[in-house]
Amino acid sequence: MPVSYKTRRRLSLLILLVGLPIYIVVAVSVINWLERPSLLVELLVYVVLGIVWALPFKFIFKGVGQADPDGPER
């Protein structure tokens, strides 16, 4: 069942306001668990974790910034 535009907008807002801060805490905890590696390794870990968090939510964020395709024409 496809998710409606309105639901995707609400889910994306929830993910960005609640899920992303939680994910940031997890990413910083991973770096601390690695006992502060070198700057390049730390940067690589942050880049990889920054890309990985968004992959499962790609279908939710896709097209959210566009006008509602089911809404009235203006």
DSSP characters for 31-57?
Answer: HHHTTS--HHHHHHHHHHHHHHTTGGG
Q: Is the pLDDT of residue 56 over 90?
A: no
pLDDT given for residue 25 in this prediction: 93
Measured CA to CA in angstroms, residue 14 lies from 21, 32, 38, 47 at distances of: 11, 27, 34, 22
CA distance 38 to 31: 10
Q: Each residue of 1-47: pLDDT tens digit?
A: 688 888 888 999 999 999 889 989 988 888 888 788 888 988 888 88
Q: Is the pLDDT of residue 71 over 80?
A: no
